[in-house]
Amino acid sequence: MGSTVHWKRLVNGYSGFSPAGAYTHTALVTFPDAESLRLLSDLGVRYAILHLARLPPAMRALCTTGDAHLVVRYANADTCVLEILGAPPRPARPSDRPVPLGAARLTTSSGPDPHALVDRDLATHWVVPVRRSVADYVQIDLQNPRRLTRLVVRLGPHFGEYLRSLQVEASADGQEWTTIVDRPIGEAPLLGLVRDPEDLRVEIALPPTTTAHLRLVRPAGDTDPDWLAWGIHELELYESASP
């Protein structure tokens, strides 16, 4: 209700539901580290309001000193307002390139034909209901092992279908699987809402992994009541461009 005093847009606001609440809390709880500052700066956020009673002592000091990317614009005994001037630059990403998926074999644990995942048509859509007691996955079997670097999940305009939690698994033989990425809180495609809401996407960086078999998994047990379905318009896979 406090937002009705000023009617400004809030990154962590909510109404009847908060589909990105867990992600924004996780991303901002470490404020003002580099990642949280980059997120806020990319979203065009100009001000952060800090309520001192809810903060650890180290963070309260910001209301007096600010830092290289934050300037104190207002402060009283309970609250301060910091202006966000920028963020540390992102580390350079190693060069990579798309993996052709036309000859790959795609299978899923449930749902419709997965061909829509790699048909290069953003208008087509693979989607399944979220069954909280059962894990679901999309599996990619390449013809030959490749040194993989990242997955990109393109969601079209369907923000609500992003993975609230996820795992990525790799296998040497397509039978025994090892988890290489485990995110109990999945990234919400917030930047896409600002840049291109018709082509939302989430990027999943992979540790250096050479394999021909990969799975994107929605683990069982998620408790988000607002997550009714998860889906993918296009799935892109990248490999190292280095020899």
Portions of the chain given CATH number 2.60.120.260: 96-240
At residue 9, the pLDDT reads 79
- Superfamily (CATH H level) for 96-240: Galactose-binding domain-like (2.60.120.260)
Taking 90 as the threshold, does the pLDDT of residue 109 lie above it? yes
Phi-psi region of 205 (alpha: psi -120 to 50; beta: other; left: phi over 0): beta
Counting Cα atoms < 13 Å in the Cβ hemisphere of 160 gives: 12
pLDDT digits (tens, 9 = 90+) for 16-48: 667 788 899 899 889 999 999 999 999 999 999
Q: What's the whole-model pTM score?
A: 0.90
Q: Are 81 and 48 in contact (CB under 8 A)?
A: yes
Report the C-alpha gap between 203 and 205 in whole angstroms: 6
At residue 2, the pLDDT reads 64
Report the C-alpha gap between 241 and 243 in whole angstroms: 7
